[in-house]
Amino acid sequence: MASIRLTAAEATVRFLAAQETEIDGRTVPLFGGVWAIFGHGNVAGLGPALHGIRQDLPTFRAHNEQAMAHAAIAYAKTHARRRMMACTTSIGPGATNMVTAAAVAHVNRLPVLFLPGDVFANRRPDPVLQQIEDFADGTISANDCFRPVSRYWDRITRPEQLLGALPATLRVLTDPVECGPVTLAFPQDVQAESHDYPAEFFRRRVHRLRRPEPDARELRAAIKALKGARKPLILAGGGVKYSRAETALAEFASRRGVPVCETQAGKGSLAWDHAMNVGSIGVTGSAAANALAAEADVVVVAGSRLSDFASASRTVFPKAELIGLNVGGFDAIKHGARPLVADARAGLEALNGGLGGWKASNSWTAKARDLTRKWNTVVDKVTAAPARKANTLPTDAQVLGAVNRQAGKDAIVVCAAGGLPGELHKLWRAPDAAGYHLEYGYSCMGYEIAGGLGVKLAAPEREVIVLVGDGSYLMMNSEIATSVALDARLTIVLLDNRGFGCINRLQKGTGGEPFNNLLDEAAPQVDFAAHAHALGAEAVKVGSIAELEPAVRRARQGRRTTVIVIDTDPQVSTAEGGTWWDVPVTEAPRSAAQRKARKAYETNRRRQRLGV
């Protein structure tokens, strides 16, 4: 058998470069590149290896390890998990900076490969710079922090171990059920050691999406339940997008007259103006979707992990039997659902094909459409520009309404944390599945700008608009400079409400006094436009919605990343729509506000469907 002598680092990157994926009949590289911040632990091993293969596997440099991992995650999400990236760092803080991002990928079931440098496998120079020493376990390093937030974890202590570890890595990264982050801790001495690897190991491999079909018995039971339904509903989650099941969903909903509501991850599965799209569900849901959910008797939960926001902490479906259509059995049985374990597209097509002439009642379909018309009127109202003479700060809803009106059908909106995701879930009008990109599984502050960069690298032909609050911006803004350096133009709309406005509202809503969330008048006024300009972006501060809309239009026509800053009201969020969220209120209230909040909390908690 022919062999090739390579260092472990060279073998790793050559193997990654040999992986391909099939998308819409085209074969393209599986890995879109490697993000690298070099330090001791990877600069002398993976560094030259990446340099030697840079024509086939491009390397990108960021300014923050967590941010570059967010960009990699966003890249994979934009490609619906068909393509991905790897990230490599030094052995100490560079590695642990990525742990938060690993959690983001784990929660959202997104593929990313982490290759943090590690301490010496031979231990001769221990303890090395940045080494974490465990007094009771000599095998521990900082990279063990990745274990609980990785779907697969390994430490490569011999070059030949790659022959098993790398195929195992690709199995997880490309599997529809196990998909998530993989960590290969890579000791710096091992990276530089060589081995005679079989040439066959580096042959071209093409990965194709696996679509598990539903079990016949589970399918029959689901069809029977639907045929007996008087008020059916479909909940579309992120699995619909990952499966590319949007067309199957639209055909099912239209043919059967079944309304569709959407989670954060599933928003855009149907275009916002599709006749059967009733909007978002749950805590940040539309009034239409939540009203229908309260009456629904059978709900097909398609590709959702049923988080507390989607389920309104287990209160949104008080009467319904759930059918858990999910590629993973772990999610298919949640909330006592009748499981239908299958790929979302395969499952929807099988259900549609097995229902014969069944349709939802005309009155139920008509009710869904009537409620949706009324909700769209509400959206128009709360997102409309304020009167020109209004002397008040604009609301988040008014800002995103202005941006939405100017975004165009090719835009992808990116957001992650704070109050904005709730407003976007309720109010943003997504033209297609790719046009709405929210990281709300982990709700990670700091994802927004880095995520927008990853989206732009994945979809350079589309406009990318990042909505970010001042709190998230201050946490992580460094990839503005990276976007400029890579000529990856973003439009960033920065809403400055002087602190953590949404948590301040939650604090008051649970009976507390405003404390430690909003900045007082003595705190410094940050000139965000000047800061963004210093990072290389075009930047402007606007004073009103009337100034914001033309600024967005100009940014679309610009040649580099543009940051548009606008002051907003921290006290106001959209009251319409939405429902309860389980946030514990003190059991020993000290004020009238706390007593009122506790009473409401106890009332709502009795509505929860537990044990099912």
Domain with residue 351: its CATH number is 3.40.50.1220
pLDDT above 90: residue 321? yes
Whether residue 225 lies inside any domain: the answer is: yes
| Chain segment 92-131, per-residue pLDDT in tens | 999 999 999 999 999 999 999 999 999 999 999 999 999 9
Task: Confirm whether 424 is domain-assigned.
Answer: yes
Q: Is residue 417 part of a domain?
A: yes
Asked whether residue 573 is assigned to any structural domain, the reply reads no
> Mean pLDDT, to the nearest integer, of 237-243?
98
Residues 181/150, Cβ–Cβ less than 8 Å = yes
d(CA 150, CA 105): 9
- pLDDT category at 229 given cuts 50, 70, 90 is very high
pLDDT at 612 over 80: no
Task: Please check whether residue 109 lies inside any domain of the structure.
Answer: yes
Domain shared by 287 and 199, yes or no: no
**343 lies in the same domain as 455:** no
Q: How many Cα neighbours within 13 Å face the side chain of 102?
A: 26
| CA distance linking residue 393 with residue 403, whole number of Å | 16
Structure tokens of 489? 């133009």
Mean pLDDT of 471-495: 97
Which long-range contacts does 326-330 make (Cβ < 8 Å, 24+ apart)? 326/239, 326/301, 326/302, 327/176, 327/177, 327/212, 327/239, 327/243, 327/303, 328/176, 328/177
- Output the six-digit token pair for 71: 């960009």
Are 203 and 223 in a shared domain? Answer: no
Give Dmax (Cα) for the chain.
Answer: 80
Residue 102's φ and ψ, nearest 5 degrees, are -60, -40
393 shares its domain with 485: yes
Is-contact 352 251, C-beta < 8 A?
A: yes
Q: Give the burial string for 499-511 (b: 16+ CB within 10 Å, else e).
A: bbbbebbebbebb
Rounded alpha-carbon distances, angstroms, from residue 472 to 92, 97, 139, 267, 424 = 24, 16, 36, 22, 16
Burial class (CB in 10 A: 0-12, 13-18, 19+), 587: exposed
Task: Return the residue matching tokens 């491009």.
Answer: 58
Compute the average pLDDT of residues 333-341.
Answer: 97
- 290-299 tens-digit pLDDT: 999 999 999 9
Which residues, including other chains, have CB under 8 Å from residue 248's CB and lie 6 or more apart?
Answer: 344, 345, 348, 349, 352
Distance CA 276, CA 273 (A): 8
Looking at the fold, whether 324 and 413 belong to one and the same domain comes out as: no
Q: Which residue has the higher pLDDT, 499 or 203?
A: 203
> Do 271 and 301 share a structural domain?
yes
C-alpha atoms less than 13 angstroms from C-alpha of 287 in its C-beta half-sphere: 14
Report the distance separating Cα 358 and Cα 583, nearest Å.
41
**Structure tokens that stand for 160 in this block:** 């030949």
Describe the chain by its helix, strand, coil percentages, rounded to 5: 40, 20, 40
In terms of residue numbers, what domain contains 52?
3-207
Task: Find the mean pLDDT for residues 11-38.
Answer: 97
Element (H, E) at 39: none
Which residue pairs from 53-57 have beta carbons closer than 8 angstroms and sit at least 24 positions apart in sequence? 53/10, 53/13, 53/14, 53/17, 56/17, 56/29, 57/13, 57/16, 57/17, 57/29, 57/31, 57/33
490: nearest Cα among 396, 567, 425, 413: 413
What is the rounded distance in angstroms from the CA atom of residue 341 to the CA atom of residue 492? 40
Asked if residue 61 has pLDDT above 80, the reply is yes
Distance, CA of 245 to CA of 17 (rounded, Å): 29
Residue ending a domain, among 175, 207, 239, is: 207
State whether 435 and 493 are in the same domain: yes
Q: Based on the fold, state whether residues 189 and 256 are members of the same structural domain.
A: no
pLDDT confidence of residue 562:
98
What is the mean predicted confidence (pLDDT) over 232-258? Answer: 98
Q: Strand pairing of 3-7 and 194-198? A: antiparallel
Query: Are 361 and 402 in a shared domain?
Result: no
247 located within any domain: yes
Are residues 420 and 544 both part of a single domain? yes
* CA separation for the pair 115, 8 (Å, rounded): 12
Give the chain's domain count. 3
- Residue 22 predicted with pLDDT over 90: yes
Of 333, 352, 374, which residue is a domain's last?
Answer: 374
**511 lies in a domain?**
yes
579 in a domain, yes or no? no
Q: What is the pLDDT of residues 523-533, one digit of tens each?
A: 888 999 999 99
Parallel/antiparallel/unpaired status of strands 232-236 and 152-155? unpaired
**At 510, which CATH number?**
3.40.50.970
pLDDT digits (tens, 9 = 90+) for 176-192: 999 999 999 999 999 99
pTM > 0.85: yes
Q: Are residues 196 and 235 in the same domain?
A: no
Looking at the structure, tell me whether residues 539 and 410 fall in a common domain.
Answer: yes
Rounded CA separation 248/350 (Å): 10
Domain boundary among 337, 356, 374: 374
> What angle do helix axes 344-354 and 246-256 make, rounded to 10 degrees?
20
Q: Is pLDDT of 389 > 70?
A: no
Contact between 540 and 363 under an 8 Å Cβ cutoff? The reply is: no
